[in-house]
Structure 1
């Protein structure tokens, strides 16, 4: 396996590794970031709650218990050979989102979540493949990974399990990781991790949607907007359309209409909102604060030296047209941006504080929707 001295630049990442081959970086995440992440005890606490999606895997028989878990589940698990996995940890433990700036070269708009797994000694979720790109950050303890050297052409799973466990062991490179090490695994590369001692692993997953999901979601978006959901009335039909045959000209006409709809400004505005949705269904979607700020109140605070910042766990997406006009997505919503506001949005995306009085209404709307916070 390729071992790098540091996490790659964006140019190297997309040219050499993205969708192509795994790599490993020793100490890729600095200690000050690792020390801020969720602890094993805090992770277990999340698994007891109703909100987070969690599961416990026992690798003696590959049984899987889905959360919310109970304290008895942990007692029964014993001292070895089990793992706890919790999804969307960055939403329920915001300090864990401090991992995300380390991977600024990756497409944040495709990020699904940060899943955290605690494994007792010997714990594993078996040999498997994923449909997503994943960065595996070792946060505690040691873990031995086996990673395939090429994508699996055929996935043969053990039948009768809740988990997708490959029938055959992974043939590939073995590597032992420690605190702060980073492993990148592209989709369809078989991999298996076994905990050599009690350990925590942080999995940052990047998952693209199916084309059917995109088309269905865009169709739903159009159906909510009377100005764009135009009915096909067959105004260009000819005598060739009589009866049950849809003639070639009509097929091409309808295809062209759909293509024009995809090329409209509505599509860009919908797309940024689609990719800015939080992956956990219960997270707030741009709800108004109970105590909103007026323009005068926000102006006064900014003039007194306050600034606004986007929390790391909130995803922003931005699409910029050649004209300079743009669309900003956040929490499943979106807004059109004048070109003057694009630099402000870019600073927020980069995690920088913003106090621009000339962007007052833009900042006020985002603050009142709980997208920005004061620092």
Structure 2
């Protein structure tokens, strides 16, 4: 077995990560995830149970024979499906596990050096001995966290630009494979694989793999998303009326002035504070249709109830599975996005928001100014009532 794969002693700093690895090359960190964190993550029986639920997106991939004849079935599954799968050459994959099993989201702070506002989901796979989804590439950055068991990985050395897939199967399996480095991983090991780098995992001992994926949108998705946002506000969604047209745009000709005016209309919207505010909303939308609806909790609190809880010493925390996005506002202060909603906040509130982004507890001791401004409590109550914050047990 040969490998020139970069092996790090510890997770990279943010400076090292973006300077040397992000979109550039894979790396491996041995024992990067501590055992107490691994102990909290979803287990095989729980994963199988989750795959039986209607709301979970799950797949079962099987291989058979020397020709590796791949088949793929989609959930929800039943116990008979697992009985029929046998004890080798199959994998179960379930997406968005951090939403269904919040303890699995405790993995996410391990990757704070990565852009968590781009985090898509944690996909978890259980695979029997010989289980594999074949050589493939992804459109996203992924950290492959090995849980229990042992896997063999082949990792490409460069991005694949002109991929060719095996025809006639339900999976995108690379025809002919790819060149790469080979390595075995065990519990706590982490592999980083950039987009379009070939990779193939094969299970040596029944294994759990936690795939933390960071997925950027297509340009078309950005355009259509912002267009939808604009359409919801009459004052933004003004009609183009050709105000500067001249004889050069007579008949069927779009004159230079017409083209310039339409571009200027785009530029005006893209440089506005509305665009910045929409961005933090867009990047906190859930990729799962059953999440991300800014839903109110069943037992909401009112101002006096909420303040009394905090006055009596209660602590608030942002669960790891809750995604925030934050950026400076062109009009001053900053914009905070959560669950496709946004808040424009005074810069004085940044230290408070920063505590939540670090998943640290907030109370009158950790943030002495908690009761200084009524706006602080109003903002926290809004987040709490829409399930962005929880009281610490």
State the TM bucket, normalised to the shorter chain: over 0.9
| Farther off after superposition, 163-172 or 125-134 | 163-172
Deviation of 1:181 after TM superposition, in Å, equals 0.2
Question: For the Cα contact (< 8 Å) 2:98–2:122, is it kept in 1?
Answer: yes
Within 5 Å, give how 1:235-274 maps onto structure 2: 235-274=243-282
Task: Report what 2:131 is aligned to.
Answer: 123
Structure 2 partner of 1:366 = 383
Q: Which of the numbers 44, 50, 71 marks the counterpart of 1:40? A: 44
Q: SS of the residue aligned with 1:150? A: strand
List gaps (5 residues or longer) in structure 1.
none
Q: What is residue 99 of structure 2 aligned with on the other side?
A: 91
Deviation at 1:343, TM superposition (A): 1.8
Shift of 1:323: 6.1
1:184-223 equivalences in 2 (<5 Å): 184-223=192-231
Which of these residues, 135, 140, 149, is aligned with residue 132 of structure 1? Answer: 140
1:1-375 matches, within 5 Å, as 1-60=5-64, 61-321=69-329, 324-355=332-363, 356-357=370-371, 358=373, 359-375=376-392
RMSD over aligned CA atoms reads 1.1
How many residues are matched? 375
Offset of residue 241 of structure 1: 1.8
Report runs of 4+ in structure 1 exceeding 3 Å deviation.
Answer: 321-324
- Residues 141, 213 of structure 2: 8 Å contact kept: yes
How high is the TM-score relative to the length of structure 1? 0.98
1:170–1:192: 8 Å Cα contact kept in structure 2? no
Give the C-alpha shift of residue 153 in structure 1: 2.7
8 Å CA contact retained: 1:82, 1:123: yes
Query: What secondary structure is seen at the aligned counterpart in 2 of 1:300?
Result: helix
Paired with 2:381 and 2:35, the residues of 1 have a C-alpha distance of 36
Provide Cα deviations, 1:144-199, integer angstroms capped at 9, x if missing partner.
00011111132110001110001112321000000000000001110100000100
Give the distance between the partners of 1:140 and 1:170, measured in 2 at CA: 27
- 1:219-277 CA-to-partner distances (Å, cap 9, x unmatched) read 00100111211111111111222211010111011101111101111101111010011
Summarize the Cα distance change of 1:68–1:208 in structure 2 as closer, same or farther, 3 Å threshold.
same
Higher mean displacement: 125-134 or 340-349: 340-349
User: TM-score of the superposition, structure 2-length normalised?
Assistant: 0.94
Distance 1:327 1:66 in 2: 39
CA–CA distance in structure 1, aligned partners of residues 159 and 147 of structure 2: 27
**Given that residues 292 and 340 in structure 2 are in contact (C-alpha distance below 8 angstroms), is that contact kept between their aligned partners in structure 1?**
no
Preserved contact between residue 41 and residue 103 of structure 2 (Cα < 8 Å): yes
